[in-house]
């Protein structure tokens, strides 16, 4: 059986609320959630039963169980050896 990558989700809005159940329905494990604020991340993580949450981009990108990151309109650019959402 092929193992699917662990997923980190960027965002706490309506897209994340749709994306997380869809990923789980397809067999993915959502390992981590990022929010603009720690409070936003915590609230949705508790609601969606996601164990790890943060407001720090690097915490998601470097999380040992996250192999794939997703988010609504995710555009990334390389800046000082970090991948960051556009507009940062």
Query: Is residue 1 one of the residues assigned to a domain?
Result: no
For 33-83, the pLDDT digits (tens) are 999 999 999 999 999 999 999 999 999 999 999 999 998 754 544 444 455
C-alpha–C-alpha distance, residues 9 and 88, integer Å: 17
**What is this structure's pTM?**
0.78
Per-residue pLDDT averaged across 7-11, rounded?
A: 95
User: For the chain, what is the domain count?
Assistant: 1
User: C-alpha dihedral over 45, 35, 10, 80, to 10 degrees?
Assistant: -140
Full residue range of the structural domain in which residue 42 is found: 6-85
> Residue 33: what are its φ and ψ, rounded to 5°?
-135, 135
Please spell the DSSP secondary structure of 25-81, one letter per residue: HTT-EEEEEE-SSHHHHHHHHHHHT-SEEES-HHHHHT-TT--EEEETT--EEEETT
Model confidence at 16, pLDDT cuts 50, 70, 90, reads very high
Query: Is residue 62 one of the residues assigned to a domain?
Result: yes
Query: Is residue 81 one of the residues assigned to a domain?
Result: yes
């Amino acid at each position: 059986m092929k193992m699917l990558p662990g997923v980190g989700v960027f965002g706490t809005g309506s897209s994340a609320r749709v994306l997380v159940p869809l990923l789980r329905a397809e067999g993915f494990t959502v390992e981590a959630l990022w929010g603009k604020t720690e409070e936003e991340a915590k609230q949705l993580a508790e609601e969606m039963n996601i164990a790890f949450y943060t407001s720090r981009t690097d915490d998601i990108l470097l999380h040992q169980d996250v192999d794939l990151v997703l988010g609504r309109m995710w555009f990334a650019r390389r800046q000082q050896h970090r991948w960051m959402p556009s507009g940062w």
